[in-house]
Amino acid sequence: MTPPEKVESQVREIIASVLGSSAPSEIRLDDELHEIGVESLSILAIVVRVEEECGIKIGDSELFEASLKRVGDLVELVQSNMAHS
């Protein structure tokens, strides 16, 4: 099982990579996704990268039903899927 700190770090790195030069210098768990520049297309790119790098599959319905408002919400979704895979 991957330690929670590693998952948090990995998700933050993926977000920064997808956002590129528009990413904030520091991404925190309590940051609002829309406030740091994550939009509907970028969240899909982030999820695809997370799935590839973490070896998980997040179902479309699960993604759209999840309340992804903060970076921490995305981390929790990834950790939940890692626990079930």
Structural domains in the chain, CATH included, are 4-83 (1.10.1200.10)
Instruction: Report yes or no: 10 and 18 within 8 Å, Cβ to Cβ.
Output: no
Per-position pLDDT tens, the chain of length 85: 678 889 999 999 999 999 999 999 999 999 999 999 999 899 999 999 999 999 999 988 888 888 899 999 999 999 999 887 6
Question: 59 exposed, middle or buried (CB, 10 Å; 0-12, 13-18, 19+)?
Answer: exposed
What are the structure tokens assigned to 48, written together? 């695809």
Model-level pTM? 0.91
